[in-house]
A and B are shown apart, each in its own frame.
Chain A
Amino acid sequence: MSDIGISTKAMGKSGVTFSPLKVLKGFIPKLDTKAIVKNALISLASILLFVLLWHLGANYLFNIEATAKIEKARTEQGAEAAAQMEACILSGDVSCQPNTLPSPQQVIVAAQNLWADHLSISAKKTAFKAKVATTNADRKAQGLKPIKYTGRPSFIDQILTSIKTVFAGFLLAMFIAIPIGIITGLNENLKTAFNWLIQIFKPVSPVVWLLLVFMIVKTLIRDPELDKSFIIAAISVGLCAMWATLVNTSLGVSSVKTDYMNVAKVLQLSLGKKIFKIIIPSSIPLIFTGLRITVSVAWMVLIAIELLAQSPGLGSFVWEEFQNGANDSNAKIIVAMFVIGIIGFLLDRVMLFVQQSVSFETQ
Chain B
Amino acid sequence: MSENIVEFKNVSKWYGEGENRTEVLSNINLTIKEGEFLAIVGFTGSGKTTLINLISGLLEPDEGEVLFKGKPIKGTSHERGIIFQNYSLLPWLNVFQNVALAVKEVHPDWSQEQLTEHTERFIEMVHLTPAKNKLPKELSGGMRQRVSVARALSMDPEMLLMDEPLGALDALTRGVLQEEILRIWSANRRTALLITNDVDEGVFMADRIIPLNPGPNATLGPEYTIELDRPRDKKALNSDPKFKEVRTAILNYLVDLGEAAKLEKKAEFTLPDYQPMMPHSRTFPFFRRKKDRA
List the interface of chain A (C-beta within 8 A of B): 259-260, 262-263, 265-269, 277-278, 281-282, 284, 360-362
Contact = CB atoms under 8 A, between A and B. Distances in A.
B257 interface: no
Given A266-B56, A268-B105, 9 more contacts: A260-B88, A265-B75, A266-B76, A278-B90, A281-B92, A282-B92, A284-B92, A361-B137, A362-B137
A5 B77 CA distance: 50
- Top 7 A-B pairs ranked by shortest CB distance? A259-B88, A281-B92, A360-B91, A360-B92, A362-B137, A267-B105, A265-B76
B96 to A, nearest CB: 15
Given A265-B58, A266-B56, A362-B137, A259 B86 contact: yes
B92 A266 contact: no
B84 A262 contact: yes
Contacts of B86: 259
Interface residues of B, number: 22
B125 to A, nearest CB: 19
A281 B57 CA distance: 25
12 contacts: A262-B58, A263-B90, A265-B57, A265-B58, A265-B76, A266-B58, A266-B76, A266-B82, A267-B105, A277-B101, A361-B91, A362-B137
Contacts of A266: 56, 58, 76, 81-82
A282 B88 CA distance: 13
Interface of B: 56-58, 75-78, 81-82, 84, 86, 88, 90-93, 101-102, 105, 135-137
A262 B58 CA distance: 7
A284 B93 CA distance: 13
B84 A259 contact: yes
Contacts of B91: 282, 360-361
B278 to A, nearest CB: 23
A268 B80 CA distance: 11
A269 B58 CA distance: 14
Contacts of B92: 281-282, 284, 360
A362 B91 CA distance: 10
Contacts of A282: 90-92
Contact of A269 (B56, B82, B105, B136): B105
A259 B135 CA distance: 17
A260 B136 CA distance: 13
Nearest to B87: A259
Given A360-B137, A362-B137, A267 B88 contact: no
Contacts of A281: 90, 92-93
Contacts of A267: 101-102, 105
Contacts of B101: 267, 277
Contacts of A284: 92
A298 to B, nearest CB: 27
Contacts of A362: 137
Contacts of B75: 265
A265 B28 CA distance: 25
A263 B92 CA distance: 13
A217 B44 CA distance: 64
Contact of A360 (B76, B81, B82, B135): B135
A267 B75 CA distance: 11
Contacts of B135: 360
Contacts of A361: 91, 137
A259 B98 CA distance: 14
A28 B235 CA distance: 52
Contacts of A259: 84, 86, 88
A268 B77 contact: yes
A121 B76 CA distance: 70
B90 A260 contact: yes
B15 to A, nearest CB: 13
Contacts of A263: 84, 88, 90
Nearest to B152: A266
A277 B98 CA distance: 11
A278 B93 CA distance: 10
A259 B136 CA distance: 14
A262 B88 contact: yes
B16 to A, nearest CB: 16
A269 B101 CA distance: 9
B73 to A, nearest CB: 13
Counting chain B CB atoms within 10 Å of each CB, which of A266, A277, A278, A360 scores highest? A266
Nearest to A263: B88
Contacts of B137: 360-362
Nearest to B80: A266
Contacts of A260: 88, 90
A66 B251 CA distance: 96
A131 B93 CA distance: 57
A220 B101 CA distance: 48
A265 B53 CA distance: 12
A259 B90 CA distance: 9
Contacts of B58: 262, 265-266
A281 B82 CA distance: 23
A281 B81 CA distance: 24
A268 B76 CA distance: 7
A260 B91 CA distance: 9
Contacts of B136: 360
A361 B91 CA distance: 7
Nearest to A278: B90
B80 to A, nearest CB: 8
Nearest to A277: B101
Contacts of A268: 76-78, 105
Nearest to A266: B76
A85 to B, nearest CB: 71
A144 B58 CA distance: 68
A260 B82 CA distance: 13
Nearest to A273: B105
A262 B161 CA distance: 14
A361 B137 CA distance: 7
